[in-house]
Structure 1
Amino acid sequence: MKHQTLEELHEVAEVDALFPAMTRRQRLEHWAMLLERNPERCLAAFPGTEYMTLELRDKARSLDSALGIAFADPTLRAQGLKNDTYGESKRFFELTDWQLHAIVCHCHVGGTMKAGWAAVQVRSAIDKEGKLFSRLREAIAHWPVFRILNHARE
Structure 2
Amino acid sequence: MKHQNPQELAAAATTYAQPPQRRMSRRERIERWAEILECHQGPINALRQVEYLPPQERRAYRGVNTPLTVAFNDPVLREEGLAGDRLGDAMDFFQLSDSEAHALLCDCRYHGRMTGSGLAHRLRRHAQASERRARMWQAVGRFFGFASGRTA
CA distance in 1, matches of 2:18, 2:80: 13
Cα deviation, residue 18, structure 1:
7.7
Corresponding residue for 2:63? 62
SS in 2 for 1:20: coil
Quickly say closer, same or farther: Cα 1:19–1:37, change in 2 above 3 A: farther
Cα deviation, residue 41, structure 1:
4.1
**Structure 1 regions of 5+ residues with no counterpart?**
1-14, 133-154
1:43-89 deviation digits (Å, cap 9, x = unpaired): 11111111111001000001111111100000000000010110110
Cα deviation, residue 129, structure 1:
2.0
SS in 1 for 2:114: strand
What is the count of residue pairs matched by the alignment? Answer: 117
Tell me whether 96-105 or 80-89 shows the greater mean CA deviation.
Answer: 96-105
Quickly say closer, same or farther: Cα 1:120–1:35, change in 2 above 3 A: same
1:78-136 deviation digits (Å, cap 9, x = unpaired): 0000101101100000011121112210101134511111111211220232538xxxx
> Is the radius of gyration larger for structure 1 or structure 2?
2
Q: Percent identity?
A: 32
Q: TM-score, normalised by structure 1?
A: 0.68
Q: Which runs of 4+ in 1 moved over 4 A?
A: 15-19
SS in 2 for 1:46: coil
Q: TM-score, normalised by structure 2?
A: 0.69
CA distance in 1, matches of 2:115, 2:74: 18
Cα deviation, residue 36, structure 1:
1.1
Corresponding residue for 2:45? 44
SS in 1 for 2:65: coil
- Tell me which of the two structures has the higher relative contact order, counting C-alpha pairs closer than 8 angstroms and 6 or more residues apart: 1
The 8 Å contact of residues 32 and 120 in structure 1, kept in 2 or not, is answered as yes
Q: What RMSD, in angstroms, separates the aligned Cα atoms of the two structures?
A: 2.1
2:29 to 27, 30, 33: 27
CA distance in 2, matches of 1:56, 1:124: 28
Is 1:53 the equivalent of 2:54?
Answer: yes
**Structure 2 regions of 5+ residues with no counterpart?**
1-16, 135-152
CA distance in 1, matches of 2:57, 2:22: 33
